[in-house]
Amino acid sequence: MTRPEEALEYARAEAARKRAAGVYGEPGPGGLDESIVSGRPSAELLSRWAVVEGDPRLLYSTRRAGGPITAIKRGLIRLLRQYLADVESRQTRFNIALLASVQDLEHRVERLEETSERGDTAPGTGE
């Protein structure tokens, strides 16, 4: 395996094998989407990613005595819930506003490219 294409195929086959053996579950929401591998993520996927939502159920420790560490982490999350909710909401608002701005720019570029292909003059050039 020396080429990236081979690595991707190998990883997919290995994941399918482990999924069939029960080691992995099916990908959940926000999991790997084909549009990521094939190039650019779709607008729908970007919209889902823009919303920040922490899931305390995914919080765990992989250390040997992870139970108490996980309990402490969950306790901290509970104590900081109001602050974290505020941070998540601010970050989500920023992400959505940024995504809207990028989409507006993409639409402007598309309109300019269409105008250029038709041979019209670009708006504001005065030609």
Tell me phi and psi for residue 71, to 5 degrees: -60, -40
pLDDT at 33 over 80: no
pLDDT at 49: 86
Instruction: Please state, in angstroms and rounded to a whole number, the distance separating the CA atoms of residues 21 and 110.
Output: 47
pTM passes above 0.75:
no
**Contacts of residue 73, Cβ cutoff 8 Å, sequence gap at least 6:** 59, 61
Region 108-126: what's the mean pLDDT? 79
Tell me phi and psi for residue 32, to 5 degrees: -65, 125
